[in-house]
Amino acid sequence: MSASVIAYDRGMGRWEPNARGRLERAALELYLERGYEQTTVTEIASRAGLTQRTFFRHFADKCEVLFAGSNWLQELVVSTLTGAPDSAAPIDAVCAALQAAGAAIQEGGDRPRQRQAVIDANPDLQERELIKLARIAAAIAGALRERGVADPAASLTAEAGVAVFKIAFGRWISQDGGGADLPELIKASFEELKTVTAGG
């Protein structure tokens, strides 16, 4: 996908607001143009019209630009799961929580697909993505235990849920803007899982 779809106004001064967003856009633009490994923090800051000092006020390193939203996404999943009705089956509560995450991701427009293209091209970033998913699975398992689901059921449900989410996300990414709805893909994938496990 062409990096030209990323809107960025290079005429903005250093004092302009939303420095974090500008740095994120500049970094992703450069990662797509040159490759993650070939891009430096200096180049990201320069492209954004900002200083290295400003970059490091927002991000620990150039990798963090791609994973800065991980904690927020995890918190969204856990809060949605925690707020699910007590009557909801664990797998259905997890499905609803991951659908909420999918809706949030989808609101990012082209950015999630562009981000994934960068990650897919770099083994270290792929490992970091797997760590992120493992943390989300652990958080889901913890939230299920809080709802009274004992282990190993809590851990199994969490791991299965994240696996379903990963597959649905992959299907959505491969659509390349073809109009598929990520939350609906997640729901449909959960239904397929339930059908298989029910022997249907």
Domain boundary among 47, 65, 83: 65
* Domain shared by 192 and 125, yes or no: yes
CATH of the domain at 32: 1.10.10.60
* Domain shared by 32 and 76, yes or no: no
43-49 mean pLDDT = 96
* Domain shared by 55 and 77, yes or no: no
* Domain shared by 32 and 94, yes or no: no
Amino acid at 86: D
187-198 mean pLDDT = 88
Alpha-carbon gap, residue 25 to 44, rounded angstroms: 9
Alpha-carbon gap, residue 126 to 53, rounded angstroms: 28
CB 99 within 8 A of CB 183: yes
Q: Hey, is 140 helix, strand or coil?
A: helix
* Domain shared by 110 and 13, yes or no: no
CATH of the domain at 110: 1.10.357.10
Domain boundary among 65, 93, 109: 65
pLDDT in tens, 1-36: 333 333 334 343 344 458 999 999 999 999 999 999
* Domain shared by 90 and 175, yes or no: yes
Among candidate residues 134, 132, 153, the one with its CA nearest the CA of residue 144: 153
pTM for the whole thing? 0.83
pLDDT in tens, 132-161: 999 999 999 999 999 999 999 999 999 999
Say what the pLDDT of residue 17 is.
Answer: 59
Say what the pLDDT of residue 10 is.
Answer: 39
Asked whether the predicted pLDDT for residue 176 surpasses 80, the reply is no
122 burial class (0-12, 13-18, 19+ CB within 10 angstroms)? middle
* Domain shared by 73 and 61, yes or no: no
Q: What does the buried/exposed string (b/e) look like for 41-60 if buried means 16 or more CB atoms within 10 Å of the residue's CB?
A: beebbbbbbbeeebbeebbe
What is the DSSP track for 28-73? HHHHHHH-TTT--HHHHHHHHT--HHHHHHH-SSTTHHHHTTHHHH
Asked whether the predicted pLDDT for residue 44 surpasses 80, the reply is yes
In total, how many domains does the chain have?
Answer: 2
Task: Kindly indicate the confidence band of residue 196, based on its pLDDT and cuts at 50, 70 and 90.
Answer: confident
Of all residues in the chain, the percent with pLDDT exceeding 70 is 88
* Domain shared by 80 and 127, yes or no: yes
Domain boundary among 65, 95, 119: 65
Structural domain span for residue 25: 3-65
* Domain shared by 107 and 175, yes or no: yes
* Domain shared by 9 and 32, yes or no: yes
* Domain shared by 83 and 122, yes or no: yes
SS (H, E, C) 163-179: HHHHHHHHHHHHCCCCC
Say what the pLDDT of residue 180 is.
Answer: 80
Say what the pLDDT of residue 102 is.
Answer: 95
* Domain shared by 17 and 86, yes or no: no
pLDDT in tens, 60-118: 999 999 998 888 999 999 999 999 999 999 999 999 999 999 999 999 888 999 999 99
